Structure 1
Amino acid sequence: MTTSPEINTLAELRASGHVQKSLREELRDNLLAKLAAGEDPWPGMHGFENTVLPQLERALIAGHDVVLLGERGQGKTRLLRTLATLLDEWTPVIDGSELHEHPYEPITVESQRRAATDGENLPVAWLHRDERYVEKLSTPDTSVADLIGDVDPMRVAEGRRLGDPETIHFGLVPRANRGIVALNELPDLAERIQVALLNVMEERDIQVRGYVLRLPLDVLMVASANPEDYTNRGRIITPLKDRFGAEIRTHYPVELEDEIAVIRQEAQLSAVVPDVLLEILARFTRALRNSPAVNQASGVSARFSIAGAETIAAAARHRATVCGEDAVARLVDVQTATDVLRGKVEFEPGEEGREGQILEHLLRTSMAQAARTHFGGLNFSPLVEAFDGATTITTGEHVTAEHFLAELPELEASNLYDEIVERLDADASAGHRAGAIELALEGLYLAQELSKETADGQTIYG
């Protein structure tokens, strides 16, 4: 954040050559400037480059209010919050103005009186763009007073007439004048409350207790909604839906790389998690989204894989603390994620009692896909032949990487272990090396080349 301009009066603002723009002009000009300069206006938004973002950019250039429709965990709220970066960093307002009025255009009675009294000495303050984005979760208990405003009984008690505009206590939308108002989960808003927004979005005025205040509000209304909410909890009323200039459908990442990028970006990891484990989580999440056993109307949120990555990192940190090694996640930690993520997936009614089996099956499938992708073409014969019926390798939640590596059978005239590590671009540390070889052993087990027994948090390959 830079410091605000050193301009404190209306006269100084005029002398600076400042040009007043409407909110939509400001958003459009800044968006076009970024596009012309080759800058990314939407940092951190992965997988929307060719679908959602072009639609949103066209809507902003057209000056439309926008509603984003999509299942949970598709990045709708993050995308709405990114809109604030398209505003000017600092914008002038009348100092003390309740509705952030521009010094060139006061709209309330109080500000007009101050402008007439102070003239060119009208005090000017500067508002940062972060303060021009207002977000409201549309809960059923939201009232018209919360969004639009109501008569303030304290001001009436002070002696003002009931019809005096100065008795009005303004709600969230008027207070966001010259800014962006984001309503999350719009269908949860009671229908009678949605009606109160009709004038704001079309005529740009507000009505409070029968008084029509002709305030030329300059706000951009954006909203998010889950399509299933139209039948389960509520709906967007038709007149309000008609007033949104653009209805944009969001989606989960189409490419595996975008799914991995979202996990890496959003997860708060307490240990090192190799890329291949994030890939397995991403494949696991995508398999759930395609499974007929999962309720796809509910969706499988990106938060599923993000929480999974954080759980895997926590398991690695736990082992590192107990066993005294570097905190590097390995394949043995992936299993811990399924134990705590079951509640984040909605299964079809006919699958009751089989939830654990479904998760286990899809996780094994994801591991097998990752192993085939990275180890395809490697000759594992020396490793398979080393298991002569008596040789076994033990790994598990409390088996250190050094102990696991020490148990590996020696492979004469073969550098297979090094090739396995190279295929995953892993470094030479014990944790990364052990994790890579564990994935190879699991791949051999899933290909029915090795056997595996699991009990008490330990896995024995033989």
Structure 2
Amino acid sequence: MTTHPEPATIGQLRSAGHEPRTVKAEIRANLVAALRSGDNPFPGMVGFEDTVLPDVQRALLAGHDFVLLGERGQGKTRLMRTVAGLLDEWSPFIAGCEIHDEPLAPICQRCLRLVATDGDDVPIEWRHRDDRYTEKLATPDTSVGDLVGDVDPTKVAEGRTLGDPETIHYGLLPRAHRGIFALNELPDLAERIQVSLFNVLEERDIQVRGYAVRLPLDVLVVASANPEDYTNRGRIITPLKDRFGAEVRTHYLDDVDEEVALISQEAELVAELPSHLLEVIARLVMELRTSSAVDQRSGVSARFAIAAAEASAASALRRSALTGEDDAVARIGDLADVLPTLRGKVEFEMGEEGRELEVVGHLLRLATAATFRERVAGADLTGFTAHFEDGSTVETGDLVPASTVLGQIGATPGLAQILDRLGVGEDSVSAGQVAAAVEFVLEGLHLTRRLSKVESDGTTIYGS
């Protein structure tokens, strides 16, 4: 965070050439500048470049409040938070103001009185753009007071009369003045509470318990929602939907490379996860999103893929700690082992009750086979298959170290080509990386019916 500008009073700010502008004008100017310079105005958003982001950009350029509509785990909250990056880095406000009034255009009673008495000597402070983003998770118990405001009994007890507008305790929306207010899961907000947002979105003011006070708020309102036919917990009432300028539909990623990029960006890995395993996870998620056994109205969140990657890496770290191997590298068997802990992230159709693990296991095999064909197609695998012609086997599992796996397979012709296909560098290759590649090839040979496999008590035996 860089240092804020120097002006410390309204007079100094005016002399510096500061001109007030609305938050939507501020965002519009910064977005136009980013687009013209080729900068990415929405860092971290993957796969939305040609679909969602153009609609969001149009809404922001038009100065519209908007709703992001989509299933869980489609990046709606992340997208809302990136909009804050389009605000000016520093913004001045009258010192001590609860709603961070614009120094040259105050709206609250306190600041108007202060400017009237002290003029250019009124002190100002500076607020970073991170502090100008306010996010609220809509819950059924959210009240009008939480969002808009209520009478503060403490101020009344101090001697102010009930008719004094300064007895108001401002809610989240007024406190987001000159910033962005994000409302997550809008349909969960009770319908009578949604009504309290009417004036904010249309007339840009608030009403608190009948007070004759008009507070012309300057705020960008962004909301997120799941499709109404899925949530069944509530709906966005029609008059409120009409007051939003745009409704932007998000979606899941439909490209393997984009899914891999998203997992790599979001997952916090405690061990190495080879690229071919990331690809298997990405394909597994896409299989789940098209399977008739999965409730597609619910969707399959990106959090499933992220959790699968993190859990697989954790399984490799566990093996390293228990066996004493030097490097922790995840293998295809680690992913299969962690799937039971992830089934709660997927909602299945009613007829699939009791078959959840069977369904996910089947889809994992499809994803592994597809990745095997994509990565290894055309490679010479005779060196691997020849190893089993005399009845030899290879035993692996979640507690079998890499050195044991490699000791069983021995020097295999064609292994260097496989490592190259799987993106394992020649200079810094480790035993764990080689073992992960070998186990992936063995699993691929099994799935293409060129090698048998037996699983028992946490171990897997490839071969006769």
After TM superposition, the score normalised by the length of structure 1 is 0.98
The answer to whether the 8 Å contact 2:91/2:127 transfers is yes
Aligned position for 2:415: 417
SS in structure 2 at match of 1:40:
coil
The answer to whether the 8 Å contact 1:140/1:190 transfers is yes
Aligned position for 1:461: 462
User: How far is 1:208 from its partner?
Assistant: 1.0
- Higher alpha-carbon deviation: 162-171 or 281-290: 162-171
1:269-348 matches, within 5 Å, as 269-325=269-325, 326-348=327-349
SS in structure 1 at match of 2:461:
strand
The answer to whether the 8 Å contact 1:206/1:212 transfers is no
The answer to whether the 8 Å contact 2:230/2:297 transfers is no
1:24-423 matches, within 5 Å, as 24-228=24-228, 232-325=232-325, 326-411=327-412, 415-423=413-421
Counterpart AA for 1:397: D
Q: Distance in 2 between matches of 1:17 and 1:160?
A: 38
Q: Distance in 2 between matches of 1:131 and 1:212?
A: 29
The answer to whether the 8 Å contact 1:187/1:230 transfers is no
User: How far is 1:92 from its partner?
Assistant: 0.6
* Identity score, percent: 59
Q: Deviations along 1:413-453, whole A, 9 cap, x unmatched?
A: xx311111111111321111111111111111111111001
Q: Distance in 2 between matches of 1:231 and 1:360?
A: 28
The answer to whether the 8 Å contact 2:387/2:409 transfers is no
Aligned position for 1:433: 434
Q: Deviations along 1:124-161, whole A, 9 cap, x unmatched?
A: 11011011000000000000000001111222222222
Q: Distance in 1 between matches of 2:266 and 2:18?
A: 39
Judging changes above 3 Å, is the alpha-carbon distance between structure 1 residues 231 and 409 closer, same or farther for their aligned structure 2 residues?
closer
Q: Distance in 2 between matches of 1:184 and 1:367?
A: 36
Counterpart AA for 1:216: P
The answer to whether the 8 Å contact 1:230/1:236 transfers is no
User: How far is 1:409 from its partner?
Assistant: 4.7
The answer to whether the 8 Å contact 1:289/1:300 transfers is yes
The answer to whether the 8 Å contact 2:295/2:347 transfers is yes
User: How far is 1:410 from its partner?
Assistant: 4.5
The answer to whether the 8 Å contact 1:205/1:213 transfers is no
Q: Distance in 2 between matches of 1:103 and 1:386?
A: 79
CA RMSD of aligned residues (A): 1.1
User: How far is 1:274 from its partner?
Assistant: 0.9
Q: Distance in 1 between matches of 2:410 and 2:95?
A: 76
Q: Distance in 2 between matches of 1:340 and 1:195?
A: 41
Q: Distance in 1 between matches of 2:296 and 2:129?
A: 38
The answer to whether the 8 Å contact 2:206/2:216 transfers is no
Judging changes above 3 Å, is the alpha-carbon distance between structure 1 residues 282 and 230 closer, same or farther for their aligned structure 2 residues?
closer
Detail structure 1 runs of 4+ shifted over 4 Å in the superposition: none
Q: Distance in 2 between matches of 1:164 and 1:138?
A: 30
SS in structure 1 at match of 2:140:
coil
Q: Deviations along 1:250-273, whole A, 9 cap, x unmatched?
A: 001121111111111111111011
User: How far is 1:385 from its partner?
Assistant: 2.7
Judging changes above 3 Å, is the alpha-carbon distance between structure 1 residues 272 and 382 closer, same or farther for their aligned structure 2 residues?
closer
- Higher alpha-carbon deviation: 228-237 or 400-409: 228-237
- Higher alpha-carbon deviation: 89-98 or 382-391: 382-391
Q: Deviations along 1:223-269, whole A, 9 cap, x unmatched?
A: 00000467610000101000000100000112111111111111111
- Higher alpha-carbon deviation: 316-325 or 67-76: 316-325
Q: Deviations along 1:367-405, whole A, 9 cap, x unmatched?
A: 000100011011223321331242111111111111111
- Mind listing any 5+ residue stretches in structure 2 that lack a counterpart? none
Counterpart AA for 1:394: E
The answer to whether the 8 Å contact 2:9/2:121 transfers is yes
- Higher alpha-carbon deviation: 371-380 or 229-238: 229-238
The answer to whether the 8 Å contact 2:228/2:234 transfers is no
User: How far is 1:322 from its partner?
Assistant: 1.0
Counterpart AA for 1:155: K
Counterpart AA for 2:261: A
SS in structure 2 at match of 1:207:
coil
- Higher alpha-carbon deviation: 27-36 or 161-170: 161-170
User: How far is 1:348 from its partner?
Assistant: 0.1
SS in structure 1 at match of 2:300:
coil
SS in structure 1 at match of 2:207:
strand
Q: Distance in 1 between matches of 2:23 and 2:383?
A: 68
The answer to whether the 8 Å contact 1:84/1:130 transfers is yes
- Higher alpha-carbon deviation: 283-292 or 201-210: 201-210
User: How far is 1:337 from its partner?
Assistant: 2.1
The answer to whether the 8 Å contact 1:187/1:229 transfers is no
User: How far is 1:163 from its partner?
Assistant: 1.6
Q: Distance in 1 between matches of 2:317 and 2:230?
A: 43
